[in-house]
Amino acid sequence: MKTILALETSCDETAVAILRGRNSHSGLELLASEVASQIAEHEKHGGIVPEIAARNHLVHAPRLLERTTLDAKIHMSMVDAFAATSGPGLASSLMIGASIAKGLAIGFGKPYLAINHLEGHLLSPFFGGADGDVQIRPNVSLIVSGGHTMLIRVHGLGDYQLIGRTVDDAAGEAFDKVAKMLGLGYPGGPEIEKRARAGNPDRFDLPRSMLDSENFSFSGLKTAVRYLLLKLGVIPRRADGEGPYTRSLDYREPKSDQSPCEGSVSSARDERVINDLCASFQQAVIDVLVRKTISAAQKYDVDLVTMSGGVSCNHELRRQLGEACARERFEFKSAEAWLCTDNAAMIAFAALLRSQAGFESKLTEEIDPNLALAL
């Protein structure tokens, strides 16, 4: 039986979790898991501000450590190993979680495990496996998050091969940037998904880039949306061309009582246009992700496809990839929704599996904001 306490501070969410597992074939017991979100702090800036994120980690981490140990009804001395995300992520944020975990490991004389944030996502579909089986089976895995979009061939724990990755914007970044163009909220993924439910995904013909490549590109799709907004008469509110945007489908000249740089959605017709645009954009992203994932699974002759990361919370992506896998006779596993966004439970899970395999990090190991998962 091993008990792991893990911290996740790679970006703008502070998370602490305590996980217990008996052996590589046993079930897991998540004793406690807490996440402090900073969305409200960063929303006003339209994106993550590293200094604000780091300051908030310092505020939230001690409180979450106290709360998780109380919820788990254990003392720190009962923890068998301490883990933290060591990369990739924001350097100033990674440093806080890693420093706390190292300090606890030194103070209680326990091992320290430095965990790759992307490996936490990669392994999360196996968290709480059926009948307690947490063995990592060979699979093709799609990791799709705010900062990363990649396909990985998984041979086993710690044995990963990079199939393809984004060459510019990740899918999550494209969602955020398009949402900003449309004057929607941050983060952009949930806002676009909500609008897309009421929209027609066939309304606008948007590009699907690099379909014959194993790599991804979403920058061209984002640019296509921007030019479409101009064609529709959607006028930037600011001179620098950044959102939010005024929306008027029939825009030709400013009305006498309204500046072209003022206002928002002015009619139900405008609402339909924005909903259809969101649906069309979302479908373009999904088409690329599904096609490339299925192609990779066929090429590398696996029988399992997995998906993880924040964008995998998207219900339409889950449905369409699941249906595509069923048609092609692949088993499909997706991380549970609560495990898709940044959390410490997935870091604890990766640390537990690595600890059971005899892995331990040196206390001198440094964080790496650009840490690679596979080559």
Neighbours of 113 (CB within 10 A): 25
Q: What is the DSSP string of 195-232?
A: HHTTS-TTSS----TTTTSSSB--HHHHHHHHHHHHHT
* pLDDT tens digits along 139-175: 999 999 888 999 999 999 999 999 999 999 999 999 9
263 vs 255: CA distance, rounded Å: 11
The pLDDT tens digits of the residues spanning 259-318 come to 433 344 345 668 899 999 999 999 999 999 999 999 999 999 999 999 999 999 999 999
What is the arithmetic mean of pLDDT over 322-350? 97
- CA 195, CA 317: separation in Å to the nearest integer? 15
In 337-367, which positions are buried (b, 16+ CB within 10 angstroms) versus exposed (e)? eebbbbbbbbbbbbbbbbbbeebebeeeeeb
Query: What pLDDT sits at residue 120?
Result: 98
How confident is the model over 88-97, as a mean pLDDT? 96
